[in-house]
Structure 1
Amino acid sequence: MAAAASNGLTRRAAVAGLAACALPALLPVRARAAPTASAVPAVLSSPAVLTPKALGAAMLAVCRSGTRLVAVGERGTVLLSDDHGAHWAQARVPLQATLTSVCFVDERTGWAAGHLGTLLRSDDGGQSWHKQLDGLAAAALVDTAAQRTGDATAIKQAQQLVNEGADKPFFDLEFTDAERGFAIGAYGLMFATADGGRSWEPWLGRLPNPRSLHLYGVRAAGGTLVVAGEQGLLLRSVDGGASFAPLPSPYKGSFFGLLRTRGGALVAYGLRGSAFRSGDDGAHWDKLDSATPLTVAAGTALPGGGFVLATQAGDLLLARQDTAALRRIPSREPVPVAGIAVAADGALVLASLRGMRRLPAPALD
């Protein structure tokens, strides 16, 4: 998996072992492609196909919008459940790019992000979506920002992004309210919005990331933003994103995600069962004993305190309280898990490469 991470697989694609599952459409490579004409890829203009097969699609993320569950995955697939994950229906999506992340701030307003610089917004609980950004527009924004600085290196990098076309995968999203949000992704991509996504501002130049390492997780609280990524990269802003500084990293392997507990602690997780907890916004980290060599693929906070992590084989690592103690719950049905959420009835809902799975709350006892 170390090689996979350095090759820059999609955050959830890498941790779920998609290379072994032969889904090349989900696997952007680490090396940048040669410059090509900036044509609009067909998948950005073709609606996602409505098909019963969507229920078995590779799903990469899931979240709550009120009591509804919204899951996203390959080829623009968005699935909705209004019965806590027991049944799912496909939503209409205006494109076929693979979606890797989804985030709702209330029961109606949410965003999804994914390959080809895709950023989508929904105002009806995920029933319908409209595109706010794609990779071509994102590259143009980076180029405009670089031209304003007059920095030759930034201008050269921006022009390379323009020449490469739309291939700009986003890996994670974070919105603090209906106006302010952040999207991160490959090659150090970071964009921010202060108007609900009507406009996006590139923040690449604000990050101390000279090697353009991939960014896989972002969490915000108040004026503090923490970003985690490839090769143990940890960055933090304490001024709302105006500036970032590197954090001492407790691990040199890749982090594939961040979660924030109800008590305010951060948990970073990734390769080879690695998981670390910080109670001071990343200044110090304590290693969590996951008791597994498997990559930790997903995680979410629990409503009553604590958190749960999921490995690439579907095992659960449960912390009932906001502590460093983890209890491993072996998977009853081993599936490559890529995302996890808590349903309104307390059940755990897993986004996997074989569709959606529901684990009743008693399974956590």
Structure 2
Amino acid sequence: MNVLFLQTTAARVVALGLTLGGLLAANVQAAPAAEADLRAAVQAAHPERAVLQAVARAGQRLVAVGERGLALYSDDQGKNWQQAQVPVSVTLTALHFPTASQGWAVGHFGTVLHSSDGGKSWQRQLDGKRAAALALADVAARAKAAPAGDATLAKALANAQRLVADGPDKPFLDVHFFDARRGLIVGAYGLIFATSDGGQHWQSLAGQLDNPQAHHLYSIAVGGGAIYLAGEQGLAFRGEMNGGSFLRLSTPYQGSYFTAQADDNGNVLLAGLRGNVYRSGDRGSSWQSVALPAPVSVVASSRSSKGMLLLANQAGQLLASRDMGQTIRPLATPPLPPLTGVLQLDDGQLVVTSLRGVLRP
């Protein structure tokens, strides 16, 4: 994995030194990196104190994922946690449950995991080798059908061949399932795949994106019949739920957007590096800058069932908005470690993931 990726994802995928510290705190022994995608996650004495990357709801249950294949679940609103059975030891970066029982998690080494029991156990559906092979097959098919000398396709083919040659080291960084069958995953170097059968088969959608430099894709947001993708160097796309290619959106910022949110009224919010936040009220056709209290990278976001927008940053600060980003205010919380995920429960209680585990601030 190249140095650029490690640098640009430092806000979302924790630095090695902090990761090691989190593992020691959780009493987890690290598996050799070369075998992480082949070894089951080690049972930890205190997995709730480990480095965790994201938290989501599975019906009334909470599920969190993080370093070394850790997946946890809680049936008491995050007060107590149990470790799930996971077949890999790779970092898990994101998860989504479209139903109370059916959920998907993604992570490093091109890993896609599926749970059919609300996050208590997980099975692998996709790995980096298969993902790279699928990406190469997709580009090769498009190149075969295109006129000779297409420079864009030639570059895409070279990138796909490099993915295969590099081996299964490229991470997926976000996942969204529209229901128990149709889902989308995105990741480093422009990786994007879709499934229509619950993850049994995956198809590369890279040909639908105007992303010739294969920039990283960090986040998926869905709202108002549209799908929004956010990535590095100001990259943003809008696709329609009924299919077709993604339209590349012009945004004011040329840095990385680590997280995105959208509602059913055409409002979209992108947030990322150094606290840069932009919102649109017209499905991404125009954008306005949103001021934050400090220029700290925003690394995670969520929307509650009551419409509250929450942002979490690297300084351990939580911010909230009731008008989809038109006004954003900091929340009064105790000092928190660098955050990686945030969720608001129906009773207003907040649950966050961080470099020091899962917390209820």
| Fold agreement, TM-score > 0.5 | yes
2:242 pairs with 1:245: no
Deviation at 1:116, TM superposition (A): 0.4
The answer for the alignment partner of 2:273 in structure 1 is 271
Deviation at 1:264, TM superposition (A): 5.3
Q: Aligned equivalents of 2:208 and 2:62: distance in 1? A: 34
The answer for the alignment partner of 2:336 in structure 1 is 334
Contact 1:300 1:309 in 2 (8 A): yes
When residues 69 and 262 of structure 1 are mapped into structure 2, their CA distance, relative to the original with a 3 A threshold, is farther
Q: Aligned equivalents of 1:213 and 1:307: distance in 2? A: 27
Contact 2:269 2:325 in 1 (8 A): no
Contact 1:102 1:112 in 2 (8 A): yes
Deviation at 1:46, TM superposition (A): 1.1
Q: Aligned equivalents of 2:308 and 2:281: distance in 1? A: 13
The answer for the alignment partner of 2:222 in structure 1 is 220
2:6 pairs with 1:14: no
When residues 203 and 8 of structure 1 are mapped into structure 2, their CA distance, relative to the original with a 3 A threshold, is same
Contact 1:77 1:99 in 2 (8 A): yes
Segment drifting more, 46-55 vs 115-124:
46-55
The answer for the alignment partner of 1:191 in structure 2 is 193
When residues 83 and 330 of structure 1 are mapped into structure 2, their CA distance, relative to the original with a 3 A threshold, is same
Q: Aligned equivalents of 2:347 and 2:157: distance in 1? A: 51
Question: 1:140-161 deviations in whole A, cap 9, x for unaligned?
Answer: 1112222222254433322211
CA RMSD of aligned residues (A): 2.4
SS at match of 1:15: coil
Deviation at 1:121, TM superposition (A): 0.6
Q: Aligned equivalents of 1:45 and 1:18: distance in 2? A: 22
SS at match of 1:7: helix
2:56 pairs with 1:60: no
SS at match of 1:126: coil
Q: Aligned equivalents of 2:335 and 2:78: distance in 1? A: 16
Alignment TM-score, normalising by the size of structure 2: 0.88
Deviation at 1:240, TM superposition (A): 4.0
The answer for the alignment partner of 2:67 in structure 1 is 74
Question: 1:232-257 deviations in whole A, cap 9, x for unaligned?
Answer: 11112236452122111021211001
The answer for the alignment partner of 2:149 in structure 1 is none
Alignment of 1:1-365 (within 5 A): 7-9=4-6, 14-15=10-11, 18-19=14-15, 21-23=17-19, 41-149=34-142, 150=144, 151-221=153-223, 223-238=225-240, 240-261=242-263, 265-359=267-361
Deviation at 1:262, TM superposition (A): 6.5
Deviation at 1:189, TM superposition (A): 0.6
Q: Aligned equivalents of 1:135 and 1:144: distance in 2? A: 14
Question: 1:39-68 deviations in whole A, cap 9, x for unaligned?
Answer: x94222211011213221100010101111
Give aligned pairs, total: 341
Q: Aligned equivalents of 1:243 and 1:24: distance in 2? A: 41
Segment drifting more, 341-350 vs 161-170:
341-350
Contact 1:112 1:119 in 2 (8 A): yes
Q: Aligned equivalents of 2:41 and 2:166: distance in 1? A: 24
Structure 2: 5+ residue stretches without partners: 23-32, 145-152
When residues 263 and 358 of structure 1 are mapped into structure 2, their CA distance, relative to the original with a 3 A threshold, is farther
Question: 1:309-364 deviations in whole A, cap 9, x for unaligned?
Answer: 111112111112335111112541230100111224321110101000113xxxxx
The answer for the alignment partner of 2:26 in structure 1 is none
SS at match of 1:52: coil
When residues 205 and 107 of structure 1 are mapped into structure 2, their CA distance, relative to the original with a 3 A threshold, is same
Contact 1:168 1:186 in 2 (8 A): yes
Contact 2:223 2:263 in 1 (8 A): no
Q: Aligned equivalents of 2:134 and 2:12: distance in 1? A: 32
